Amino acid sequence: MPDRSSAGRGASDEHDLEVDAAIVHDWFTGMYGAERVVEAMWSGLFSPSVRPDIFTFHAARNRLPHRLAAAIVQESRLASLPGLRERGIRGGHWRYLLPYIPHYFAKLDLEPYDLVISSSHACAFHVRTRPDALHVCYCHTPMRYAWTPGVDGGRSVVTGFVLRAAASRLRRADRAAASGPDVFVANSSAVRD
C-alpha cells in the first residue's frame, strides 16, 4: 500500500482499500437494507481517492444520497425507456424485464477492475470478471423470484404468471452463475443455508 502519512489521514483509515474496484448492485429503488450495505462498502472499505465505480440495472437516483448516486457509472438503458422507467414516487415497469436482467449483468464490461464486489439479492452476481480479478459476492438472499416465488405476496395475477413462467429459466441461469464468484459472503446464517 502507498505511504499515506503525508496525506493527513487518520489512523482509522489505514485499512482502506486502494485498488481498482467496482461494486455491482441489482437495482436502487431507495435506501433500504441492501442499498445501505452498498453505501457502507463504498464509503467504508475504500480510500476516498479510489472509491469504486457502481454498476446497476436501474437507479432511482432521486431517492439516493447524492454521493452514492454520483458514483453510479452505468445502468441499463432499457430500464429507463418511457413506460418502463420510474417517474417521481411511482414505481416503473422495468421489473418486467427480470428475465433479461441476468444477461445484462453477464455482459457488463468489468475488464478494468481488479476487485468486483457484487451486492446481490437477484442477478448482480451474474457478472463476469477477468480471470485474475477477485469477485466477491455479498449475498443478501438468493433470487426469491426464482427459488421461492410464493414468499413475496401481493403481486398481480399477470406478474405472478410471468414469474412462474420465467422461474425455471431464472433458476438455470442462477445455477450457472453461482460458479463465477471467488467468494460468497452471506448476510445471515439463514441465507448461507
- Looking at residue 73, what is its pLDDT? 97
Q: How many CB atoms lie within 10 A of CB 100?
A: 15
Q: Are 112 and 130 in contact (CB under 8 A)?
A: no
Domains of the chain: 18-192 (3.40.50)
pLDDT in tens, 32-87: 999 999 999 999 999 998 999 999 999 999 999 999 999 999 999 988 887 777 76
Q: Which residues contact 3 (CB under 8 A, 6 or more apart)?
A: none
Ranges of the chain whose pLDDT falls below 70: 1-15, 87-91, 149-160, 162
- Looking at residue 146, what is its pLDDT? 73
- Looking at residue 12, what is its pLDDT? 46
Q: Which residues contact 84 (CB under 8 A, 6 or more apart)?
A: 78, 92, 93, 94, 96, 97
Q: What distance in Å separates the CA atoms of residue 139 and residue 150, rounded to the nearest whole number? A: 20
- Looking at residue 144, what is its pLDDT? 73
